[in-house]
Amino acid sequence: MEPEEKVHHHQHKNVQYTNSSFAVLLPAFSSLAGWFFGYDQGVTGGIVVMSSFKNDFCVGVYANTTVCDLPVAALPSDYRRFLVLFTFMYNVGCFIGAMFISSFVAEKFGRRAIIFTSAVLFLIGTSIVIFPPGGSKKIMILILIERIIEGTGVGCSSFSCPLYASEIAPTNLRGMLFGFMQMTVVTGLFAVNVRIRQTDDVTAELDAIADAIQEEGDHFSITELCTTKKMLERLGVGVAMHILQQTTGINPVFNFGGIIYQSVLGKGIISLLILSGANMLSTIPALFLFDRLGRRKLLIFGGLGMAVGHFLAATVFATGCDVIKTIINGTIVNEETVSCQTSSGIYMLFFTAIFVCFFALSWGPVAWIYAAEIFPLNIRARAVPITTGSN
């Protein structure tokens, strides 16, 4: 029999929230953990095209400079597999952190504990990835293991930041503060007018919070979450938001954009800088549009813009690029190397940047916001790890 659904009618509509330094800075500072996500999304794509990375893990292992200087499609198969696993193992760690570690730590030790845990895991993983010298397959295996640890830290932070911010942020600033998850690199550019709240305002706000918690009742169990129709609907929406965010194709753009544009333009790192800059700058107006336009309008607007950017980039690729054969000593070793005109590569980069801009304005931050705020407090710590894990 389906558990009775609870409908809450809060009676504190007259509570006026004002800008408070503490209420604003706490969720903003906690969201600095989102830097982990941005760090790996941006840096990983650039590292794999650097000559030092190739020297350590391609030349150092296979001792063949000529082979390692070929386009990516003609590189040694083991090295190409390592490049894929370098990203894949990180995503495995993200899934483990979001699904299996974050909920347990948050429930047992609190929200701040999971933020601290994510920082420690990321620090350990990153340190071990950075310091070992390349030149052997054993080191490559160690790097992949530590990418899992690094990703686990990111998965925990991806869970903890939206959850913590959703619980402590003033309601009239919640959308803006949620945007820090997408905007932590440029937090110094964000400014808020702050003034001290009066004692009566604080008391009324605390009463509203206490009543909300009392009305929502005891914690839901996982069984109740999966059997209550209303909660299942919200869970489905939250999971769908994250899955659809991933299907936009944003991760391949940053994870493999360096390799792609190194082949297309010969300037992989510069191309990544342009795309990362577009991502960063487009997130700034998004902070102020969350609450003004609403989540739904942003998602529709951003989805249409991304579709246009994708379509135009694909059209340029189809009309301005050719598949050529790679021949070594008279033998065809690969038939999938791509050659593009310089102008076509520039247009592809431009339209991809348009796609990134619309993503940063909409699906990038809104998926994190919406998937956290649709759940009541008494189930949020159990539901958010599931939605985050689907990402």
DSSP 348-381: HHHHHHHHHHHHHHTHHHHHHHHHHHTS-HHHHH
Split at pLDDT 50, 70, 90, the class of 255 is: confident
Q: Is the pLDDT of residue 303 over 70?
A: yes
Fold exhibited by the domain 21-389:
Growth Hormone; Chain: A; (1.20.1250)
State which H helix or E strand residue 256 sits in.
none
Domain segments of the chain as ranges? 21-389
Question: Mean pLDDT throughout 208-237?
Answer: 67
Q: What is the predicted pLDDT for the residue at 178?
A: 62
The tokens describing 298, both together, are: 């942003």
Question: Mean pLDDT throughout 345-365?
Answer: 90
Q: Is the pLDDT of residue 281 over 70?
A: yes
Q: Is the pLDDT of residue 197 over 80?
A: no
Q: What is the predicted pLDDT for the residue at 189?
A: 28
Q: What is the predicted pLDDT for the residue at 215?
A: 52
pTM assigned to the model: 0.56
Q: What is the predicted pLDDT for the residue at 359?
A: 92
Question: Mean pLDDT throughout 335-353?
Answer: 81
Q: Is the pLDDT of residue 241 over 60?
A: yes
The tokens describing 391, both together, are: 């990402």
**135 torsion bin: left (phi>0), alpha (psi -120 to 50), beta (else):** left
Q: For residues 48, 53, 55 and 61, what is the CA-based torsion angle, rounded to 10 degrees?
A: -80
Split at pLDDT 50, 70, 90, the class of 149 is: very high
Q: What is the predicted pLDDT for the residue at 288?
A: 78
Residue 248 per-residue DSSP state: T
Range list of β-strands (E), 117-232: none
Whole-Å CA distances, 25 to 193, 360, 366, 371: 12, 22, 20, 22
The tokens describing 168, both together, are: 């402590």
Give the SS3 label for residue 182: helix
CA dist 249 and 365 (Å) reads: 15
pLDDT tens by residue, 167-192: 776 666 666 666 665 555 333 322 33
Split at pLDDT 50, 70, 90, the class of 277 is: confident
Q: What is the predicted pLDDT for the residue at 304?
A: 94
- 340 has which bridge partners? 321
Q: What is the predicted pLDDT for the residue at 73?
A: 67
Question: Mean pLDDT throughout 94-114?
Answer: 83
Rounded to the nearest integer, the mean pLDDT of the chain is 74
Q: What is the predicted pLDDT for the residue at 350?
A: 93
Residue 100 per-residue DSSP state: I
Lowest mean pLDDT among 168-182, 183-197, 347-361, 365-379: 183-197
Q: What is the predicted pLDDT for the residue at 358?
A: 93
Of 203 and 31, the one with more pLDDT: 31
Q: What is the predicted pLDDT for the residue at 161?
A: 73
Residue 265 and residue 349 in contact, taking contact as beta carbons nearer than 8 Å: yes
Q: What is the predicted pLDDT for the residue at 345?
A: 85
Q: Is the pLDDT of residue 95 over 60?
A: yes
Of 95 and 186, the one with more pLDDT: 95
Split at pLDDT 50, 70, 90, the class of 351 is: very high
Question: Mean pLDDT throughout 209-230?
Answer: 62
CA dist 118 and 16 (Å) reads: 34
Residue 153 and residue 36 in contact, taking contact as beta carbons nearer than 8 Å: yes
- Most confident segment among 3-7, 84-88, 167-171: 84-88
Q: List all residues 6 or more positions away from 154 whose beta carbon is below 8 Å from its beta carbon.
A: 36, 37, 40, 90, 93, 94, 97, 118, 122
Residue 78 and residue 135 in contact, taking contact as beta carbons nearer than 8 Å: no
Split at pLDDT 50, 70, 90, the class of 61 is: confident
